[in-house]
Amino acid sequence: VEFLYCDLASMKSIRQFVQQFRAKNCPLHVLVNNAGVMLVPERKTEDGFEEHFGLNYLGHFLLTNLLLDTLKQSGTHSHNARIITVSSATHYVGKLHLNDLQSRCWYSPHGAYAQSKLALVLFTYRLQHLLTANGSHVTANVVDPGVVNTELYNHVFWVVKVVKWMTAWLFFKTPEEGASTTIYAAVSPEMEGAGGCYLYNEERTKSADVAYDEELQRRLWTESCKMVGISDEASRLP
């Protein structure tokens, strides 16, 4: 096992990481987008993005796009490379504000978090559409890990922390249990060649209706390219 440092809240760090990884000339068969923050107070990344949107979504958007060529070269007809992005059931109540993705007009930790998780689902569906259109041997799926007992809840109200402390053993998944669907998406033979799926408890399920809005997927993709400074070649595809 080898570790390379990558700060998903920094576009510079992401680009440096990709350069270091490419220099190793290694294939890339599985990419898991799993970093995230939840319900943090209003603050910005070093690039000036609202932290939920910048770290949870834009960081993964840039990382995935910069690694796409390597993923395409690594996948084969019988063994597709796989991209797994971790979202949340919170996306069901999320709203994407294309005219205010940075939550500048009105900031809500819950709203910003839910928007970032919805953006990840929209991104995954658009990405799979583009991969299919290009005939790439790469699949993209999105995972809901469930409610997992981790440090992600550091910024919730103290009352919620107390309830979590008292009930986590009964209602929360362990980190190992929370990772099971991600692992399933990454290595299960049943997922070979399957893309554009929303997975929960190792089963394909339906995401929020708005996530299937192809026009919204396209608009978010185009805007995201502008924000992270990459070319939007996908805009020429249907």
The residues that are catalytic are 113
Phi and psi of 209, rounded to 5°? -55, -40
Cβ atoms of residues 179 and 145 within 8 Å? yes
Burial class (CB in 10 A: 0-12, 13-18, 19+), 49: buried
Find out whether 98 and 218 touch, Cβ atoms under 8 Å. Answer: no
H or E element: which one contains 142? strand 138-144
- Pair of tokens at residue 62: 């840039």
Which burial class, exposed, middle or buried, applies to 154 when counting CB atoms under 10 A from its CB (0-12, 13-18, 19+)? exposed
**Structure tokens belonging to residue 124:** 């995954």
Coil, helix or strand at residue 234: helix
Phi, psi of 73 (to 5 degrees): -70, -25
Alpha carbon distance 80, 141 (integer Å): 12
CA dist., res. 125 & res. 72, Å (int): 17
Q: Which helix (H) or strand (E) holds 167?
A: helix 158-171
Alpha-carbon distance 207 to 229, whole Å?
Answer: 29
